[in-house]
Amino acid sequence: PRALANPLRPAILAAARSPRVKSAITRAPGTRSIVTRFIAGETRSDALVAARTLLDSGRMVSIDHLGEDTTDLTQARAAVAEYRSLLAELARLPEARTAGETRRLEVSVKLSALGQALPSDGRAVALEHAHHLCAAAQEAGVWVTVDAEDHTTTDSTLSIVTELRADYPWLGTVLQAYLRRTEGDCRDLSGPGSRIRLCKGAYREPESVAYQSRAEVDASYLRCLTVLMDGQGYPMVASHDPVMVDAAAASAAGAGRGAGDYEHQMLYGIRDVEQARLAAGGAQVRVYVPYGGQWYGYFMRRLAERPANLTFFLRSLATR
Ligand code: FAD
């Protein structure tokens, strides 16, 4: 039998979709103290405080206002307004003025938070909202990367990003190594100026579109990494896995890239010591900093990734 990346992962991700599980988890008294391990806080100022600490430690940031699967236009508009306020505050930081080189400030966004899943005209609404966001980011001196969501959104998301890159060539996108299509996408999208964040992938996907075993996902990640490093874009290596972190450095060196020609990315609160170690060693390291009230989906994906997180969480609920 092939080893699953994490045998509990599909079950946790499936249970996470149940409204009863959601209500039980969000109401449990102990939840909040564990959630704060993975998110910077519920407010914009919480995110800015976390970003300041990371920037002062030599790391770069990508700030994400938590939100996804929005089915209502008002909520999608509110998400855009929140990003605009965030970008206005980021524009005031000294780190916003780094034109021409790697931008130390970035925001990450999910198109489903901007309206992509709306029943009518979802694609057009998300495109228009993302356009506003990119214009504001350009003015602020901040980069944007569009997160990858489940595989049913991949074509729509990549086509929106391609369209936007005509006006905002610095716009980044995410490819997920667990998808069978991704090695091909890496080849297609590794042209000059492209910024691709390569991650393993965090959603529950069917065997028809995604590799299921850890070995297959890791092998795909390594193949994709080579394609991106050999390409002409700017690879963003999003992984906490020591194998992938080491492979990035080796593959970059093999492709004649210096430390400034790619970056490592990790999530807020995960392997903080390793993040600091890489940055101190001269690597570019960006930390994904999520904030906001809609932390449930993000939090459940982090629990599903690592059984130890789930055990820790359940134990803390049980001992209250
Ligand atoms: P794994 O093999 O899962 O983990 C390797 C080691 O890292 C573990 O042994 C452990 O030591 C540590 N670790 C990993 N996860 C955790 C955790 N949750 N808690 C504690 N320790 C942990 N996925 C998407 O589908 N779309 C995206 O847009 C997206 N953006 C991302 C952006 C960034 C910057 C990062 C780092 C990840 C992103 N992901 C995204 C998530 C990604 O797909 C993986 O689910 C996640 O990073 C875990 O895979 P891994 O490569 O870190 O390796």
ipTM of the complex: 0.96
**pLDDT tens figures, 226-277:** 999 999 999 999 999 999 999 999 999 999 999 999 999 999 999 999 999 9
Cα separation, 314 vs 320, in Å, equals 10
**pLDDT at 1 > cutoff 50:** no
The tokens describing 90, both together, are 């980021």
Q: State the distance between the two ends of the chain, measured CA to CA, in whole angstroms.
A: 39
- Reported confidence tier of residue 4, pLDDT bands at 50, 70, 90: low
Nearest to 251 by CA among 240, 268, 269, 264: 264
Nearest-atom number in ligand 1 for the CA of 214 is 2
Q: Is 37 in the pocket of ligand 1 (CB under 6 A)?
A: no
Q: Is 241 in the pocket of ligand 1 (CB under 6 A)?
A: yes
Burial class (CB in 10 A: 0-12, 13-18, 19+), 97: exposed
Q: What percent of the chain has pLDDT over 90?
A: 80
pLDDT, the chain, mean: 94
Is there a contact between 108 and 143 (Cβ–Cβ < 8 Å)? no
Cα separation, 163 vs 171, in Å, equals 10
**pLDDT tens figures, 106-122:** 999 999 999 999 998 99
Distance 201 CA to ligand 1 centre (A): 8
**pLDDT tens figures, 44-69:** 999 999 999 999 999 999 999 999 89
The pLDDT of residue 320 is 58
Q: Is 298 in the pocket of ligand 1 (CB under 6 A)?
A: no
Considering Cα of 202, then 206, then 208, then 212, what sign does the dihedral take? positive
The domain 40-93+100-294 having CATH identifier 3.30.930.10: the answer here is no
**pLDDT at 176 > cutoff 90:** yes
Is there a contact between 232 and 191 (Cβ–Cβ < 8 Å)? yes
Taking the CA of residue 8 as centre, how many other CA atoms within 13 Å lie in the half-sphere pointing to its CB? 14
Average pLDDT over residues 187-216: 97
| Angle of helix 307-318 versus helix 31-38 axis, rounded to 10 | 150
How many whole angstroms from its chain centre is CA 276? 19
Least confident of 8-17, 260-269, 290-299: 8-17
The pLDDT of residue 100 is 59
The pLDDT of residue 191 is 96
Is there a contact between 227 and 252 (Cβ–Cβ < 8 Å)? no
The pLDDT of residue 29 is 81
- Name the residue of 214, 240, 285 to mutate for ligand 1: max ligand atoms within 8 A of Cβ: 240
Is there a contact between 292 and 81 (Cβ–Cβ < 8 Å)? no
Please give the helix or strand (H or E) that residue 181 lies within, else none: none
**pLDDT at 97 > cutoff 80:** no
The tokens describing 99, both together, are 């034109």
Domain ranges of the chain: 40-93+100-294
